Structure 1
Amino acid sequence: MQASDVRPLPVLKETLNYLLNLLDATEHPFDVVHDFVFDRTRSIRQDLSMQNIVNDQTIHMFEEMVKFHIISHHKLRSCSSKRSFSSVHYLNMEQLKKCLISLYALYKENRNSNSIYKNEPEFYSFHVLLHLGSNSQPLGESLSLWLGRVPSLILKSKEMCFARRLLRLFRMGNYKRFLCTTTTEASYLQYYIIEPYINEVRALALSCVNYCGYKLHPYPIAHLSKLLMMKELDVESFCNACGLETSTDERGNKFLSTKQTNFHYPKEVFPSYCLLGLEHF
């Protein structure tokens, strides 16, 4: 490749802005738009890396590309009912991790000793939240080692404290505080990373209610709605997806009979039930 083949920074910035504006287009399904933008943003990152451009503009561009992959992570979930997007999800997450690695390196190279970039805490929190739901190591090392290299100003930020607290609640199985903390503290980008695990936490809560409840006292669906932070109609659907039956009394009140033995985590992907309090995301 010749030097003339590499696009200068102003051209790359203009191209990225054009691509990101396509995300709001409605002429084509989002997965089609995603594939188009996906390939071209990867090419932009390659051009930036080849020129070794390290400045505030580059940082902003990488932040925008990280946002693209996180928003795609959210929007592609609604496309999965049409056909399988497991490979698309996987590739999108791989590129998100690579973008974060590059962005963290840019932050480090440009950081002054006593200051951090405005968005650094939130973007560092994404790495912590990527540890939800599995024992994987997104950037190839343990989280404790990674945290040991994070500047103290970032570690003490509200964004990082939130992410670390939420991960701890998830691993402890504290479903009530997990859901409440997400509702009150998550930014929309943080929520998009957390979203796939919301229903996993709800299933844990439903399991506890089912196995720990008193058989002669069915659990009101209205109470479950508040506990799981979801609409009552969605609660019924969710219970059924977990193998549990609901009933209705003569007054029209709906209940979950506890001590049912056929509870299971759904074998297929959960429908994307909204989290009450975050409907605007």
Structure 2
Amino acid sequence: MPCVTPNSSQLKMNKRANVSISWKPRRGTVRVDEEGAAPMGTCAGMCSERERLERQRQKRLHRFEILQGTERDRLPSADPGRAVKEYSRPAAGKDSTCPSELRPPAVLLKTVCYLTDEIASGQTGAPWTEVYGFVFDRLRSARQDLTIQRVSGRPCVAVLERTLRFLVYASYRLCQEPLRCFDPKINDTHVQECFSWLLDCYQEGIHDNEPEVQALALLYNLGSLHALHHTLQLPEPVRSSAPVRLAASVSRAYLEGNLVRFFRLLRSLTFLQSCAVHRHLPRCRQEMLLFYSHGYSSRNCRYPLPLLAELLALEGPGEAAELCREHGITVSGDTVAFLKTAFRYPQALVSRHSYELVDRKQGDRSIADVIHGYS
């Protein structure tokens, strides 16, 4: 039986491009302050002494910041080497530009590396949902310091690239968590913000990791004609790089409705690229089942379940059978009976981890290696 998408030639690209997307390159960012020169931070630690003592006094220290041996004290002490400045919303009458409260670029990068190597990597032994909440907040604070000081160039890019990788990785790792533990929409908002800021920075100079990030932006925003158009306008060295070429091929296959080729190309993506595109897989699989329900609709036709599992890049026939039943498709033994009148949309699409398309690609690399961008 040929492995082709039925009626794929009849699909309209504009239907596939109707995808909600908040990312776009920034033009004139919040870092520009017309009133005067930007403040320069002088805080040499990951958290200022004032904030550290204040949060210690108010019992607002996270357990990752408490000095070892004082956890059970009535007033646990802050560890100067582990306390990290928390995100604080701008408020009327509050001076957020005090140099002693701002960390200079070198300290910000040191802070991000600490969060990556000591916290995000799982060294604390805490549940990763808790790790995510702590790191997410402290990375947001680092970006806030970048904004206030109007940091640009390589120091800014170094912080933003690691932040982006963390958020993209988290979008996959926590995709099965309940909403009270992980909100994918909030995470997505910050991912898109990092993309916008980074792509703006890349216009100001040459950066080694630009092809990687441009490819991630296209995959994360799969189905967006705007994102694809942006990619086609990139400078030739970036546009012709291997990561961007592969991401563009994946995007075109999806927009053209060639889902067989789309799923085949996904196997060639790197681990982080797979994390970026993973959030779109439930919708892509649903579309493929819909196509097949129309193309192979017959009471006498039976489609092999193992072949369907392979085409959809699922873990095996069992997962394929479960997915089919969720969409009203009849499963009998190791075969499937497609009927266009029987197809139904489930109440919600469920995002599941995928060993074949994602997990196995991590290999022996640690979480820290992934966030730092080490091959």
Regarding TM over 0.5, the answer is: yes
* Structure 1 residue 182 displacement after superposition: 1.0
Question: Residues 34-57 of structure 1: CA distance to partner in whole angstroms, max 9, x if unpaired?
Answer: 221111111111212322333434
1:166 aligns with 2:250: yes
* Correspondence 1:212-227 to 2 at 5 A: 212-213=295-296, 214-227=298-311
CA shift at 1:28, angstroms? 3.1
Unaligned runs of 5+ in 2: 1-96, 362-375
Residue range with higher mean Cα deviation, 6-15 or 145-154: 145-154
Residue 256 of structure 1 pairs with residue 316 of structure 2: no
> Quick one: structure 1 residues 260 and 50, their matched pair in 2 at CA, closer, same or farther if it must change by over 3 Å?
closer
Assess, with a 3 A threshold, how the Cα gap between structure 1 residues 11 and 144 changes in structure 2: closer, same or farther: closer
For 1:68 and 1:273, locate their aligned partners in 2 and report how far apart those are by CA, in whole Å: 17
Paired residues of 1:54 and 1:110 also in contact (CA < 8 A): no
Q: What SS class does the counterpart of residue 246 from structure 1 fall into?
A: strand
* Structure 2 residue aligned with 1:114: none
TM-score (structure 1 length as normaliser):
0.83
Q: Residues 138-174 of structure 1: CA distance to partner in whole angstroms, max 9, x if unpaired?
A: xxxx446634652221112122222222112112211
Q: Give the aligned partner of residue 17 of structure 1.
A: 113
In the alignment, structure 1 residue 63 sits paired with structure 2 residue 161: yes
Mapped to 1, the partners of 2:153 and 2:287 lie a distance apart of 45
Identity of aligned residues (%): 24
Cα offset for 1:278? 4.4
Mapped contact 1:224–1:235 kept (Cα < 8 A): yes
CA contact (8 A) 1:131 1:167 kept: no
Q: Which structure carries more relative contact order (alpha carbon 8 Å, separation 6+)? A: 2
Aligned pairs (5 A) from 1:199-218: 199-213=282-296, 214-218=298-302
CA contact (8 A) 2:228 2:248 kept: no
- Matching of residues 67-216 of structure 1 within 5 Å: 67-80=165-178, 83=179, 88-111=183-206, 117-133=207-223, 142-143=226-227, 146-147=230-231, 149-184=233-268, 186-213=269-296, 214-216=298-300
Q: Tell me the alpha carbon deviations over residues 217-262 of structure 1, each in whole angstroms, 9 at most, x when there is no partner.
A: 31121221222222111111111111222112xxxxx211222622
Aligned-partner Cα distance in 1 for 2:294–2:232: 40
Give the structure 2 partner of residue 276 of structure 1: 356
**RMSD, aligned α-carbons:** 2.4
